[in-house]
Each structure stands twice: as structure tokens, then as C-alpha cells.
Amino acid sequence: MFLIGSTLLFCAHLPFLDRAERTRKEILTGGTAPPWYGPAWEGTMLAQEAPLIEQGAVQFILFGVTVIVIFIALWITIAK
């Protein structure tokens, strides 16, 4: 049932993608590209690391721990 529904919705949104691509193409082909100043432009140094909480791996671990804690809390709550 889910496979059929997702396939139908996927096919239904394809014409809208084509319309969006046409408008995007007009923007991309007209004018010039903005200047590129490099990866260290906004006052950051290349060797400077992001704070630990903003690193992707740490966020993923925190998300996993949060999901496990919620799962355990629901399990305890439903078991009573």
C-alpha cells in the first residue's frame, strides 16, 4: 500500500519539478556568477575547528542517545 501511494505521489510531482527546473535554468544562465573569496573568507581560519557541539558526528550521537532515552521512557510508561 505504501509503495503504491509513494509511487503515485512521485509521478504526480514530476511535472512540478520540470517547471521549477525551467525557472532555475533562467536564473543560472543569465548574468555572471558572484565572486568567490575562498573557504576562509568570513574571518575564519582554515585550521579552526567548529565547536564540539556543532560537529555532525557529535550531533548524530546526541540524536541517537535522545531517541534511545525516549524509547526507554515510552517502554516504561506503556509497560505500567
CA contacts within 13 A on the Cβ side of 46: 2
* Residues 54-67, mean pLDDT to the nearest whole number: 85
* Residues 23-31, mean pLDDT to the nearest whole number: 60
How do residues 11-24 score in pLDDT, each as one tens digit? 887 777 766 666 55
- pLDDT value at 40 more than 90: no
Cα–Cα distance for residue pair 56/53, rounded to 1 Å: 8
Angle, CA 35 vertex, CA 26 and CA 54 arms, to 5°: 95
pLDDT value at position 2? 82
Question: Where does the pLDDT of residue 70 fall: very low under 50, low under 70, confident under 90, or very high at 90 and above?
Answer: very high
Total-model pTM: 0.36
Residues 6+ apart with CB under 8 A from 53: 59
3-state secondary structure of 35: coil
pLDDT value at position 71? 95
